[in-house]
Homo-oligomer: A and B are copies of this chain.
Amino acid sequence: MSEVVVKTRVRLARNLKDYPFECRLNADEKKEIAEKVCKILEKSEYDFTRYDMEKLSQVDKIALVERHLISPEFVSNNAGAVALISSNEEISIMLNEEDHIRLQIIKNGLFLEEAYEIADKLDDILSEKLEFAFSEKLGYLTQCPTNLGTAMRASVMLHLPALQKSHAVVRIGNNLSKLGLTIRGMYGESSKPSGALYQLSNQVTLGISEKAAIENLKNITNQLITQEIKSRASLSSDISVVDTVSRSLGILKTARIISSDEAMNLLSNVRFGVSVKLLETLSLDSIDELICEIQPASIMKKYGTELTVSERDIKRADFLREKLN
């Protein structure tokens, strides 16, 4: 149901047994770890591009964050901090983020098992050559104790315009923690929901298998999909909602200056409109792509890194008019 589930993400954290955790590593040790991992993966079937954080500009780093390929925290890491990103951007591996290795699989739509399978395979490739910090009792050892155990975080990015409109997301969020899940903004911890995009993820990594955690997340996701679709159906016949959807596309097609926040909200309305067949000429994929492309650093990468905020807002409007007209 890609109307509701924009992306699936599975992330595994691993640390090498013979090194202290990241916060205790010096630059040389970080580089050593990075080289070891890179060397193994170079020989794998995957085609990775290597990004050394210390060599990237701030804009390039933030553009990777906007595409969900690295974490916001990774931007401030430097020496020895390396990201390996597969050509289709489905796999990204951060080395020396909070843990020595964080491997992440992203898929469009709801594909939790499939994403986990790829993560598991990469984990096998690495564990053949590397000895991970592991305890029989605690499972994988991680710098932050909240990840101990499976060290797996599985998440789905959900588009919930209808549940947001009815304020149901807040109520749902309050209940989810009892189920070992959490829901938050699209850029993870402490980010605000923008464009009705939410990230639902498992919180519990200890005392539960990867499969069980994924099963749990999938069940709740399916429940949310059902609720969202049901709410959308009743909204889609409401003339004020139809009006909002239609105007949103009208504004995106004609604005000459637009902030990323406003664009996100309008694109969210349009995405909703496409999903309930109010708008027929656009695809969900093209809107999801736009949602990435209109982010500030992505605009700067395209049009120039020296842009002021209002110049960027003008370029964003130009870009949207070009893409949508």
Contact = CB atoms under 8 A, between A and B. Distances in A.
Contacts of A317: 243
A246 interface: yes
A219 B46 CA distance: 79
Interface string A236-259: 000110110011011101111110
B254 A250 contact: yes
Nearest to A248: B254
A314 interface: yes
B254 A239 contact: no
A51 to B, nearest CB: 35
A73 B250 CA distance: 40
A158 to B, nearest CB: 27
Interface residues of A, number: 18
A69 B257 CA distance: 41
A247 B251 contact: yes
A239 B257 contact: yes
Nearest to A258: B243
Contacts of A251: 247, 250-251, 254
B243 A247 contact: no
Nearest to A242: B256
Interface of A: 239-240, 242-243, 246-247, 249-251, 253-258, 310, 314, 317
Sort A-B residue pairs by CB-CB distance and give the 5 closest, nearest first: A250-B254, A243-B256, A250-B250, A246-B254, A243-B257
18 contacts: A239-B256, A239-B257, A239-B310, A239-B314, A243-B255, A243-B257, A243-B258, A246-B255, A246-B256, A247-B251, A247-B254, A247-B255, A247-B256, A249-B254, A250-B250, A250-B254, A250-B255, A251-B251
